[in-house]
Amino acid sequence: MKTCNSDRKALALLLGVSALILLLGLGSRELWGPESRWANIVLQMLQSGDYFVPYLKGSPYYDKPLPSYWLIAASAWLAGGLGHWSLRLSSVLAAWLSIWLVYRLGEQLFHKGTGLIAGWMLATTFYFAFWARVATADILTVCGVLAAVWWYWRGPEDTRLSRYSVFFLLLAATSLFKGLIGFVLPGLILLPHLLSQGRWKRHLNLRLCLALLMAGALYTVPFLLSQVYGTPNAGESGLSLVFRENVVRFFEPFDHIGPIYTYLIYLPLYTLPWAPCWILGLWVAVRHWRQLHANERWLMWALGLLFLFFTASGSRRSYYVLPLVPFAQLLGAWWLSRRLEQDRSNGQDRRRGWTLGFASAGAVMLLVLGVAYPWSNGGGGVIQFATQVRTEASWIAPWNQWRMVMVEVDNKLPMYLQNQGAPFFYVAQTQDFPKTGTSADFMAWLDRSSGQHWDPRRTLIFVEQNRQGPQLLDYLGNDHQVIRTQATNGERLAGKAAQGNLAFIPQAATD
């Protein structure tokens, strides 16, 4: 009983510190990189009421399945609006659950205490925590893969329909976040165990086929809904884009083409500061292969197959390596647990030193991700820009009376300018709007191209800020107040010029 209470307290401490690492400063950092696409797409869903076709800057953008956007939309509905917290909450929860799942796998499959070490390693892995705080589908995929693997290992010999159903439904749900790797990765991970001793023969039955059919039906539901209820003429269907993004990209990559050694660099980088542990674990496992237990050999095979799969793909990017990170840390935890056990057998106890190491790593994570990174975004940037625009425009008219035109702005901006009004109107730089002239010329073009009438006294116009040459639509400055994006603390510290957007607020509205 005493040991059980100690285990629960250790797990509670791990999950508590993990939550702090994942949440501290989460709402203070402006949108970064790819998460701005998720923000833009979900915002247009909320504005238009069309949840079945994703739009980016007013154009169909169906490179990912719908459920990752739906999770954010649900969070926004619960939170009363789309913001940093509602945008990132699903990724944070998936990361937190992933830490628990790694703990469970380590405790179930290896020496007692391995799961706890693996959980601490994953929670204090810099790039895992970094991407966990970013609104994309990558950590959702990691969590789904871990959940499917954990479910399998709860009863690898179980052939009941309920067991198969949950497993394949987990695969279908995971595939609906990022792509078909939700089916492929768990299959690769579990393949060595299924092939060992001919276990796969036990699972060739009608119950498995029925569960697979149910999972396939679940997978197709969002695509059917998009086809039936989505906006007509929205472009290429979701299923055809799934094929393009998952199959064509693997064999004939059309972007993100990295060298074949990409993951030899990024797997160690993405497992810092604990990369030496799994590298040493790999060395020990290879040297003592014949003495390894079956579960230890399975982990080695699983990690090797994952690495080969991602390397074989012609499309390679640094963060594609994220699904390997938990399994690499499991290998590192296995090595460390084995090493600590050997030390205790020799009369040495180095647990205190490793405990201090995990505590130090956690403190650094909190300082960097929770304090320094949000501070670097402060003092300017899109958050301050949007606040200034809102303040200046509200002096003229209530904020919800303004309509907004976005001319080639960055994807960050729309989320910060929500006003519960009409959907934003997006203009691509390739369109034939007046590059010179007067504001009247631009408003006349806007009426013609949109098929709507725009009140020049209640229209805000935004363009991307050019740090070098003349600004786009700079002639609007003759009769509009111009607001520019100011440099953030990080940009000022690095001596960089501000990058962002310009806003044109009509001065005539003040008369």
Domain membership of residue 445 (yes or no) is yes
Same domain, 204 and 316: yes
Count Cβ neighbours within 10 Å for each residue of 14-30 and write b for 16 or more, e otherwise. Answer: bbebbbebbbbbbeebb
Same domain, 437 and 504: yes
Domain membership of residue 24 (yes or no) is no
Same domain, 459 and 487: yes
Domain membership of residue 13 (yes or no) is no
Q: How far apart are CA 132 and CA 129, in angstroms?
A: 5
pLDDT of the residue at 94: 97
pLDDT of the residue at 252: 64
Same domain, 429 and 352: no
Q: Which of 375, 410, 441 is where one domain is finished? A: 375
Those residues with Cβ within 8 angstroms of residue 108's Cβ, 6 or more apart along the chain or in another chain:
115, 153, 154
Structural domain of 155 = 30-247+255-375
Output the tens digit of pLDDT for each of the chain's 511 residues: 556 788 889 999 999 999 999 999 998 889 988 899 999 999 999 988 889 888 888 777 877 888 999 999 999 999 988 999 999 999 999 999 999 999 999 999 998 899 999 999 999 999 999 999 999 999 999 999 999 999 999 999 999 999 999 999 999 999 999 888 899 999 999 999 999 988 999 999 999 999 999 999 999 998 888 888 766 544 555 666 666 666 666 656 655 677 888 899 999 999 999 999 999 999 999 999 999 999 999 999 999 999 999 998 877 888 899 999 999 999 999 999 999 888 787 777 778 888 899 999 999 999 999 999 889 988 888 999 999 999 999 999 999 999 999 998 888 899 999 988 788 999 988 888 998 899 999 999 999 999 999 999 999 999 988 766 677 888 998 899 999 999 999 888 888 878 889 999 998 544 4
The letter for the amino acid at 223 is F
Q: How far apart are CA 339 and CA 156, in angstroms?
A: 29
Domain membership of residue 151 (yes or no) is yes
Same domain, 397 and 332: no
C-alpha to C-alpha distances, 151 to 13, 154, 233, 360, 482, nearest whole angstrom: 24, 5, 41, 33, 57
Domain membership of residue 493 (yes or no) is yes
pLDDT of the residue at 197: 87
pLDDT of the residue at 509: 44
Q: Which of 349, 375, 401 is where one domain is finished? A: 375
Q: How far apart are CA 272 and CA 270, in angstroms?
A: 6
136 near 34, Cβ under 8 Å?
yes
Q: How far apart are CA 399 and CA 390, in angstroms?
A: 7
Same domain, 212 and 311: yes
Give DSSP secondary structure letters for 25-87.
TTTTSPP-TTHHHHHHHHHHHHHH---SS-EETTEE--SS-SHHHHHHHHHHHHHTS-SHHHH
459 near 473, Cβ under 8 Å?
no
pLDDT of the residue at 469: 64
Q: What is the CA radius of gyration of the chain?
A: 26
Nearest to 479 by CA among 500, 499, 459: 459
Q: Which two tokens stand for residue 104?
A: 């469970």
Domain membership of residue 67 (yes or no) is yes
The total number of structural domains that make up the chain: 2
Q: Which of 375, 404, 429 is where one domain is finished? A: 375
Same domain, 344 and 392: no
pLDDT of the residue at 242: 65
Same domain, 116 and 235: yes
Domain membership of residue 9 (yes or no) is no
Q: How far apart are CA 83 and CA 450, in angstroms?
A: 28
